[in-house]
Amino acid sequence: MDDLKQKYLGQIAEADDESALESIRLAAVGKKGEVALKMRELGKMTPEERQTAGPALNALKDEINSALAAKKAALADAALDARLREEWLDVTLPARSTRQGTIHPISQVSEEVTAIFAEMGFSVAEGPRIDTDWYNFDALNIPGHHPARAEMDTFYMHRAEGDNRPPHVLRTHTSPVQIRSMEKMGAPLRIICPGGVYRADYDQTHTPMFHQVEGLAIDKDISMAHLKWVLEEFVKAYFEVDGVDLRFRASHFPFTEPSAEVDIRCSWEGGTLKIGEGDDWLEILGSGMVHPKVLAAGGIDPDAWQGFAFGMGIDRIAMLKYGVPDLRAFFDSDLRWLRHYGFASLDQPNLHGGLSR
Partner 1 sequence: MKFTLSWLKDHLDTTATLDEILYALTDLGLEVEGVEDRGARLRDFTIGYVKSAEKHPDADRLRVCQVETDEGVKQIICGAPNAREGITVVVAKPGVYVPGIDTTIGVGKIRGIESFGMMASEREMELSDEHDGIIELDTGEVGQSFVDWLAEHDPAKVDPVIEIAITPNRPDALGVRGIARDLAARGLGKLKKRDVDAVEGTFDCPVSVTIDGDTLEQCPVFYGRVIRGVKNGPSPKWLQDHLRAIGLRPISFLVDVTNFFTYDRNRPLHVFDADKIAGNALRVHRAKGGETLVGLDEKEYTFEEGMTLISDADGVESIGGVMGGMASGCTEETTNVFLEAAYFDPVRTAYTGRALKINSDARYRFERGIDPAWTPYGIEHATRMILDHAGGEASEVIVAGKIPNTDRAYKLDAARVRSLVGMDIPESEQRQTLTSLGFILEGNMAHVPSWRPDVQGEADLVEEVARIASLTKLQGTPLPRLVDGVPKPVLSPAQRREAIGRRTCAALGYNECVSYTFIDQASAALFGGGEDTTLLENPISSDMSHMRPALLPGLLQAASRNQARGFADLALFEVGPAFHGGEPGEQHMLITGLLVGRTGPKDVHGATRAVDVFDVKADAEVVLAAMGAPARVQILRGAREWWHPGRHGMICLGPKKVLGVFGEVHPRVLDAMDVKGPAMAFTLWPEEIPMPRKAGATRPALDISDLQAVERDFAFVVDAKVEALTLVNAAMGADKALIEDVRIFDEFIGGSLGEGKKSLALTVRLQPVSQTLKDADIEAVSAKVVDKVTKATGGVLRG
According to CB under 8 A, which one of 148, 273, 282, 296 is a site residue for partner 1?
148
- Distance (Å, whole) CA 61 – CA 78: 26
Considering only residues 161 through 200, tell me which ones interact with partner 1, judged by CB under 8 A.
Answer: 167-168, 170, 188, 190, 196, 200
State how far the Cα of 88 lies from the Cα of 95, in Å rounded to an integer: 16
Under 8 Å between Cβ of 201 and 229: no
User: Does 204 help bind partner 1 (rule: CB under 8 A)?
Assistant: no
- Give the Cα separation of 26 and 18 in Å (integer): 12
* 323 touches partner 1 (CB under 8 A): no
Assess 228 for contact with partner 1 (CB under 8 A).
Answer: yes
**Which of 9, 289, 300, 355 is the binder for partner 1 (CB under 8 A)?**
289
Q: Which residues pair with 290 in a beta bridge?
A: 256
338 contributes a contact to partner 1 by CB under 8 A: yes
Whole-angstrom CA distances from 50 to 7, 45, 47, 58, 290 are: 23, 6, 5, 12, 112
For the bound state, the minimum distance from the C-beta of residue 346 to partner 1, rounded and expressed in Å, comes to: 7
Chain centroid offset of residue 140 CA: 36
Size of the site for partner 1 (CB under 8 A): 97
Backbone angles phi, psi at 84, to 5 degrees: -65, -30
To partner 1, the closest distance from the beta carbon of 209 in angstroms equals: 5
Choosing from 44, 145, 352, 357, the residue that interacts with partner 1 (CB under 8 A) is 145
CB of 10 to partner 1, least distance (A): 50
Looking at 236, 306, 312, 321, which residue binds partner 1 (CB under 8 A)? Answer: 306
DSSP per position, 207-271:
-SEEEEEEEEEEESS--HHHHHHHHHHHHHHHHT-S---EEEEEEEETTEEEEEEEEEEEEEETT
DSSP assigned state of 121:
T
Residue 357: CB atoms within 10 Å: 8
Per CB under 8 A, the segment of 32-40, 57-65, 225-233, 264-272 that binds partner 1 is: 225-233
Site for partner 1 in 49-108 (CB under 8 A): 93-94, 96-104, 106-107
Minimum CB distance to partner 1, residue 212 (Å) = 14
Using alpha carbons, select from 332, 330, 331 the residue that is nearest to residue 322: 330
Interface with partner 1 includes 146 (CB under 8 A)? yes
> Given candidates 14, 41, 49, 119, which one binds partner 1 under the rule CB under 8 A?
119
- By CB under 8 A, is residue 121 in contact with partner 1? yes
Q: If binding is defined by CB under 8 A, does position 304 make contact with partner 1?
A: no
- For residue 332, the minimal CB distance to partner 1 (Å) is 7
Q: Measured from the CB of residue 205, what is the shortest distance to partner 1 in angstroms?
A: 15
Q: Which of 28, 35, 113, 131 binds partner 1 (CB under 8 A)?
A: 131
d(CA 252, CA 224): 15
Contacting partner 1 within 232-271 (CB under 8 A): 232, 246-252, 254, 257-261
Distance (Å, whole) CA 267 – CA 272 = 8
